[in-house]
Amino acid sequence: MAPLAVLYKKMGWKVTGSDRGFFPPMSTYLEKNGIHIMPGFKKERLEPSCDFVLASAFITDKNPEVLEARRRNIPVKVYADVLPDLVEKENSVIIAGDCGKTSTTALVAWILEKAGYNPNFMIGGLPRNFEHGIRKTESNWSVMEGDEYVASSWDNTPRFLYYHPKYLIVTDAAWDHMDKFTTEWSYIRAFWQLIKKVPHDGAIIAHANGRNIKRVVKTKVLKRTNIPLVFYESMDSDNFILPYPGRIWKENCAAAIVLARYLGISDATIKEALATFLGVKRRQEVRYKSENIVLVDDNAHTPMKVKGALGVISEMFPRYVRCVIYEPGNRSPAGLTQRGYGTCFKRAQFVIFPKVSSARAELQDFNKRLARRLQRYYKNLQYIDNDQEVILAMKKIAEHAIQNQKKVVFTFMSQKGFRGMIEEAVKTFTSLPR
């Protein structure tokens, strides 16, 4: 939503934004680009006049600003309504899957950029190779992250079904977002509907070993359409120097490499792009590193994403003690029983749940309740409702590691900004004796 706001401003619109709270890196990004942001929701925000309201998927139709817009017959649009017209082009590349979407999208966009395609793009984060996460150009190529989550609280259509892929990458299809997809089949069916949108002159690039991928692409409908289907495996990246270590990055890079080769882009250009690829903010982003201590910021906010992120962290930093500080994305009652919580933290030696970032009183003890449910699975999990005490707990773990000549990697996992705790932790670690 933040890069979209900046894009509208660059197109000449006056843009303001409301949310329950604003967190880095998006808050600083919006401020840097002159977008006026206002915590909380108030109907007065629509005065004196407003052409339309753009709401994220998590905004409900009970929101004060949405209610006021509808009362005054001001159009209320969602991300999926506006993005295709703004960014998507004839040669549309969509990257879908329950994991790896953002990093793979950023990498594909960068390869096409280095190949001279000058693509339009939408990346679900802030790519470090580009100034913005959304770009509009005169090119007839576009690269877009295809999110399977619902378009809005009043429209249960998966967001990626609003897009029109000519080339589709599917990384994985493990059952996720169970608050919206109540059965595994309903989740797989969303991907099945997406692949049916690929035209005859396009192609599907699918992860050969991805979870549920064979169920998604080996359908009677796909066989009848004769749409080109190309499988990729991690070994497709073996002859390239990759920007980051680990199995997940081998798979993400393999997807981008196989697509680029399918489009006729030379290996020399692909290698140049890989050598200069800088990643995406909050996707295994290293915020601090010393001889014994590493601090990573990651967007993982569901059990499935936590499990995947810990796998990547384990491969990036082998033989490190792992400590996770976690705040979930789904804080509804169903979020307490979300599938996967019983195993997703298994690779962490320490797990800390701080209080959640919410102004709503009924949500503020969510992590406390979640911790109670999960302590039977993890003896090393603790709930700490004071931010300074979280920092102190991390400091003790770091000091113990230094004293015992061990190494520890701390990973903050959430869509939220942890109320400045990341920055405070960096200051704390910087002051420790080496």
Q: What letters, b where the CB count within 10 A reaches 16 and e where it falls short, cover 70-103?
A: eeeebebebbbbbbbeebbbebbbbbbbbbbbbb
As a whole number of angstroms, the distance between CA 1 and CA 79 comes to 8
As a whole number of angstroms, the distance between CA 268 and CA 274 comes to 10
- pLDDT reading at 307 higher than 70: yes
Question: By three-state DSSP, how is residue 294 classified?
Answer: strand
* 121 vs 217, higher pLDDT: 121
DSSP 238: T
Residue 254 in tokens: 């393999």
Chain mean pLDDT for the chain: 91
* Nearest of 305, 286, 304, 306 to residue 296 by alpha carbon: 286
Banded pLDDT at 41 (limits 50, 70, 90): very high
Structural domain 2-74, CATH architecture: 3-Layer(aba) Sandwich (3.40)
The per-residue pLDDT for range 340-360, each reduced to its tens digit, is 899 999 999 999 999 988 757
Question: Which CATH number does 285-430 carry?
Answer: 3.90.190.20
DSSP for 417-432, written as a single string:
-GGGHHHHHHHHHHTS
Residues in the chain, total? 434
- pLDDT reading at 369 higher than 60: yes
Return all residues near 30 (Cβ < 8 A) that are at least 6 apart: 2, 5, 6, 17, 22, 37
Beta bridge pairs of residue 41:
none
What average pLDDT does range 231-254 have in this prediction?
Answer: 92
What average pLDDT does range 170-177 have in this prediction?
Answer: 88
CA distances from 354 to 342, 391, 407, 425 (A): 18, 10, 23, 14
Residue type, 332: S
Rg (CA), the chain: 22
- pLDDT reading at 130 higher than 60: yes
How far out from the chain centre does Cα 403 lie?
36
Q: What percent of the chain has pLDDT over 70?
A: 97
> Domain residue spans in the chain?
2-74, 83-276, 285-430
- What's the count of helices (H) and strands (E) in the chain, helices before strands? 14, 19
Question: Which CATH number does 83-276 carry?
Answer: 3.40.1190.10
Residue 63 in tokens: 């929101």
- pLDDT reading at 69 higher than 60: yes
What's residue 100's pLDDT? 87
Residue type, 46: L
Same fold, 83-276 and 285-430: no
Helix ranges, 237-343 (H): 247-262, 267-276, 303-316
Residue 413 in tokens: 């996992």
- pLDDT reading at 21 higher than 80: no
